[in-house]
Amino acid sequence: MIVVDQLTKRYGRHTAVDDVSFRCEPGTVTGFLGPNGAGKSTTMRMLCGLSTPTSGTATVAGHPYRRLPNPGRVVGVLLDASAQHAGRSGREALAVAAATMGVDRRAVGEVLDRVGLNAVAARRRVGAYSLGMRQRLGLAHALLGDPRVLVLDEPANGLDPEGIFWMRGLLRDFADRGGTVLLSSHLLREVEAVADRLVVIGGGRVVAQGDKEELLADGGTLVRARDRGA
């Protein structure tokens, strides 16, 4: 389970995330929606221990990320597909991660097959990968430790329509087997086909959340900007 409780992040006078609270239950995919600059990535960075909250808490499986003894075995994270060692091959990058997490090296080949990177692609240096290939490698890294939770920031960027369809199936299968998925996007269409719940953020604040059918139903939630001129 993911629990975000009254999470706030300020940079000087600027408030990037303001009193954000939501929960992601096992067996579900939660779509985290909002325009670029809404606070999605900042929230996910705090959840994953990369940024310290000004106030509030964020936990995975009941613990802050930084207190998990081997976090890769609990939560798989993909926040930036480009943040990978360009000089290593895809297989080498995963082998280093496997050694760090104490995962059997045989798992590397298994996750490469699972994300659709064949033997030729696995031998290529990451610096020569397209964005879509980096996204697949990032998903492989997230899945390598056989985690119970996935936290993914815009994972469909760079994927073609076939790749997006494949990713939806992978995430739906993960959740149907009891996993918890938090999936961010600025496009509703990307997540509505796979998400069970939606959390909508704008201007650093949650403006709507609930079951997908409830929020997207005719006559459902109407969201107005506080500044109508904007």
Q: pLDDT at residue 78 above 90? A: yes
Q: Do residues 195 and 229 both lie within one domain?
A: yes
Cα–Cα distances in angstroms (integers) from residue 61 to residues 32, 50, 82, 106, 130, in the given order:
19, 17, 27, 27, 34
Would 80 be classed as within a structural domain? no
Q: Do residues 193 and 211 both lie within one domain?
A: yes
Residue 34 is given by DSSP the state -
Q: Which of 146, 163, 190 is the last residue of a domain?
A: 146
Would 79 be classed as within a structural domain? no
Q: pLDDT at residue 53 above 70? A: yes
Predicted model pTM: 0.90
What is the count of structural domains for the chain? 2
Q: Do residues 187 and 139 both lie within one domain?
A: no
Of 44-58, 134-148, 203-217, the least confident: 203-217
Q: Do residues 185 and 125 both lie within one domain?
A: no
Q: Do residues 30 and 98 both lie within one domain?
A: no
Q: Do residues 206 and 94 both lie within one domain?
A: no
Q: In this predicted structure, what is the pLDDT of residue 55?
A: 96
Would 121 be classed as within a structural domain? yes
Q: Do residues 134 and 157 both lie within one domain?
A: no
Q: In this predicted structure, what is the pLDDT of residue 64?
A: 96
Q: Is the dihedral of CA 25, 66, 45, 82 positive or negative?
A: negative
Q: pLDDT at residue 74 above 60? A: yes
Q: pLDDT at residue 175 above 70? A: yes
CATH number at residue 35: 3.40.50.300
Q: Which of 146, 165, 192 is the last residue of a domain?
A: 146
Q: Do residues 60 and 154 both lie within one domain?
A: yes
Q: Do residues 155 and 55 both lie within one domain?
A: yes
Q: Do residues 159 and 142 both lie within one domain?
A: no
Q: pLDDT at residue 97 above 70? A: yes
Q: Do residues 158 and 199 both lie within one domain?
A: yes
Band (pLDDT 50/70/90 cuts) for residue 219 is low
Instruction: Evaluate whether 164 touches 190 at the Cβ level (below 8 Å).
Output: yes
Q: Which of 112, 127, 146 is the last residue of a domain?
A: 146
Phi and psi angles of residue 4, each rounded to the nearest 5 degrees, phi first: -110, 120
Would 92 be classed as within a structural domain? yes
What domain range is 194 assigned to?
1-74+148-230
Would 140 be classed as within a structural domain? yes
Q: In this predicted structure, what is the pLDDT of residue 156?
A: 87
More confident residue, 86 or 225: 86
Q: pLDDT at residue 225 above 90? A: no
Q: pLDDT at residue 72 above 70? A: yes
The mean pLDDT of 116-130, rounded to a whole number, is 94
Q: pLDDT at residue 196 above 80? A: yes
Would 47 be classed as within a structural domain? yes
Residue 63 is given by DSSP the state B
The mean pLDDT of 202-214, rounded to a whole number, is 92
> Could you please report the per-residue DSSP string of 173-188?
HHHHTT-EEEEEES-H
Q: Do residues 39 and 108 both lie within one domain?
A: no
